Each structure stands twice: as C-alpha cells, then as structure tokens.
Amino acid sequence: MSKSLATWFTPSLQTISRSAGRSAVAAAAYRACVKLIDQTTGLIHDYTRKKGHIETLLIGADDISELWNKAEAAENRKNSTVARELMLPLPDEWTNDERRECVRDIAQHLRNTYGVAVSGSIHAPNKHHRNNHVHMMFTTRAVDELGQFGKKTRILDDMKTGEVSKLREAICKIVNAHAEKLGSDFYVYSGKFVDIDPTHIPTKHIPIQAGKEYRAAITAQNTQVKIHRANVATYEKKAELLKAELSNASILATPESTPAPDTPKSVDVERIEAIPFEDIESPFKRKLMPEACEKAYFRHQETLKKQRELKIIEEKWQAKHAELLATKPSSTQRLFSKIGLGTAKIERYDAELSKTEIHLTKIEHNKTLFKKILSDKNALNLIAQYNAIIDHNASISDLEAQAFKAHSEKLERERELAEEQARQLSEPLQDWTVGCDPTKNQSRQKAIYCPQSISIDY
C-alpha cells in the first residue's frame, strides 16, 4: 500500500462517572489547564500551572465552566455518568492550525450526530516532538441551542449497538479527508491493517507501565519487524520484476518462422517462482512468555518505582521531623502550659510531632515490605527467566533477518543464472563449416560441424 499506515491510531472512548469518584468539572479543568469551581461541591480545581496545553475548542457551548457545571447539575444520581471522553492521537507532521481544523470537524460531527456539546483540549507533543493528541470531552445528554440539557445519548452506552465502531470509522474518514486535502500520505483505519494490506506485519504494543529494559527489548523487536517489512516489500518487488523478465525471455525465445531441420530444439528454462517469506523453513523458534514471568517482572518494576517515590517522601518527612525537634518546647514552656500559658501552641506542636512520627513509622513499614518483595527468590527467578526469553527472542529476530538476507541473495543469483541461460538460447547457432574446403573428406567436415564433440585432425 502506498499510503503511510498510522498503526498507533486507536481512538479510545471512556466515561467519566461519579461512581469512580470523578467529576466532569475537575476533568475539564485538568485537560484545559484552567481554574474551575465545582458549584455542586464548592471545590476549586486549579490547573493553570499545568503545562502541555495548546488550546481548547468549544462546540455547542460558549463557556467551559458553565457547560460542565450544568452537566453536573443535570444528573441527580450518585453513580451517574456525567461526561464521555474521546482521546485521539493527531499527526505529528501536521501544523497546529491543520490539527485544529481536524479537531473542529470531529467535534462538529459529534455535535451534528448526537446533539452533544463538546470541549476539545489539544495537547502539545512530548520532548521528542511526538504524541500530539486531543482530549475531547462531550456531554452524555443532548444540548440544545439555548444550552439546555435534554435526553441521554444512550446509543453510545452499549457496545452491542455497534455505534462506537461507527463513530471510530467516521473519525477515520474525517482524518483521512484532511490528510488528502493537505497532500499528506497519512492514513488511518479503524480496523486491522491486515484487512487492507495482507503483507502487513504488526509490531508489539509497549505498555505505559513498562520498565526501561522491557521497553528497550520490545523496541528492538519492533525495529526488526520494520526491517522485515522493508525486506518483504523489496522481495515482492524483485519477484514481480523476475516474473516479468522471465515472461519476456520466453516470448523472445519463441520462433517466428519454421526452424530449419538441423536446428536443435529449444530447451525450456525452468522458471524460479517466488517463495513467500512465511514458507521459508526456519530453524528458529521464539519462546512464549509465561504469564507468571510477566506479572513478576511488572510487579518488580512497579515496586522499584514505589520505592523511589517513597524515598522522596521520606526525605520530606525526615526534614520536617528534624525541624520540629529543633523547635522543641523547653521544660519551662511545658510547665507554664499546665497553668494555661501557651497551651494551644504546645498542643499544636505535639500534634504535628505525633503526625510526623506516625508517617515515618508507616514509611518504615512500607520500606520493609518493598524490600521483602524485591528480595523474593521465586520472583527473582521468574524475572531472570523473563529477561532470558526477551534476549532469546531478540537474538532470533537478528538471525531471521540474516537468514532472510541470505535467501534474498540466493534468489538474486538464481535470477541472474536464468537470465544468462535465456540469453544463450536466444543467440543464433554458429556455423562451424564456414571457411572449410568442400573437397576435404566429408566425415571430417561432419566431425567439425558437430558442436557436441569437436575433433579436428589435419
């Protein structure tokens, strides 16, 4: 396929529900990096210092605070779903204006199709200038032109209706239309790419919680997959050229007139058919990763992360504890507190000191727990097995790449040999009797003429 397949494009639809302790006002403030006050609870959600936000587009509403406070007020159950969110990756090679227009059209499609109000917060890429994306929050109820909330859009609640799949297809069409208008080869698809490209080799997804070593190993495997993709494409192109060349050679070898009686019959050249890469017998075999190994590895990585975070928290509480000890009330101050002088100050100090010591005790408990988890011999054995399988599969990828290269070179040599044979058969037969004296012995001339056993005896 000539277009560039965006294999990472996976529009995800999720809900924001009170049953999970979430608030539409808080979520909107976080994604738009603004300060909003939840009029239902009185809580202030201030994310103005948060970085990474470009702009927020509103469709079907004029004020983000009014929109989501009305969304909260429209629901009266403690487990109500107050908003839906659609997270969409955006092409990194597009400009901010081009991404903005695409987001606007998607938001307008949600408005026109379901009657909802939408706030789309476009976020900036990471430090590697990748991962442009937008968080599109939209109401669970239809909103009219006056901003009044109506019925629930329950068509998106049940996956059995197939509406979520239709929504993803519609989003892909909008993105592809923008790509075509911009002259970009960017192309997205809501299903599996193997449906539209049979030769597509998928890469393995890297979980967000993956550790450094696991991420590096999967990245190496995905690099090998991309190399295989390029090799397969080159191989298929060469196979097509080879078939065309052999077909032309067979046409050229076909005689246009009746051959002479003494002309030897042409020899059929055996064609070399392209062997798909999957049919090549491979001595290599990857090992499957046991689920216990994966769980042990991810638990180990998560524990290491918590241990690092705990160390930072411990340093803060230790500093606070040292500060409290430095301002410890003297025995005289405590004596006066018994008669009512400075009692409140002493009580506040004792409360703060007790709170600090409780936190330090909990930290010590967690440190002991983390140390026990990290030193578990059974888990360490599973992790060692996990790393060994990762290394083994990575080496298999390297060996497969080498085997595929050798196979391609072999096909190239066979093609050149076939071309040489076809060229020799297409050349006219040389007459060895030219220049010979006709008065000589006829048997001697026949011996000279025979190309199979040349014997000249004067």
Task: Note the pLDDT tens digit of each residue in 68-79.
Answer: 999 999 999 989
Confidence at residue 279, expressed as pLDDT on a 0 to 100 scale? 41
Averaged pLDDT score across all residues of the chain:
79
Q: Are strands 53-59 and 118-123 parallel, antiparallel or unpaired?
A: antiparallel
Place of tokens 């010979």: 436
- For residue 122, the surrounding DSSP H or E stretch is strand 118-123
Confidence at residue 439, expressed as pLDDT on a 0 to 100 scale? 47
Whether the predicted pLDDT of 402 surpasses 70: yes
Question: Exposed, middle or buried: residue 339 (CB in 10 Å: 0-12, 13-18, 19+)?
Answer: exposed
- For residue 321, the surrounding DSSP H or E stretch is helix 291-326
Whether the predicted pLDDT of 420 surpasses 90: no
417 pLDDT tier (thresholds 50, 70, 90): confident
Q: 321-325, 369-373, 406-410: lowest mean pLDDT where?
A: 406-410
Q: Does domain 4-195 correspond to CATH entry 1.10.3720.10?
A: no
First to last CA, the chain: 68
419 pLDDT tier (thresholds 50, 70, 90): confident
Average pLDDT on 353-376 reads 89
Please answer whether residues 117 and 67 qualify as being in contact, where contact means their C-beta atoms are separated by less than 8 angstroms: yes
Whether the predicted pLDDT of 113 surpasses 70: yes
Confidence at residue 249, expressed as pLDDT on a 0 to 100 scale? 62
Name the more confident of 245 and 269.
Answer: 245
Average pLDDT on 116-131 reads 86
Confidence at residue 115, expressed as pLDDT on a 0 to 100 scale? 95
Enter the pTM of the model: 0.49
Whether the predicted pLDDT of 246 surpasses 80: no
Provide DSSP, 226-270.
HHHHHHHHHHHHHHHHHHHHHHHHHHHTS-SSPPPTTSPPPPPPP
- Ordered by start, the domain boundaries in the chain are 4-195, 211-250+277-424
Whether the predicted pLDDT of 389 surpasses 70: yes
Confidence at residue 209, expressed as pLDDT on a 0 to 100 scale? 67
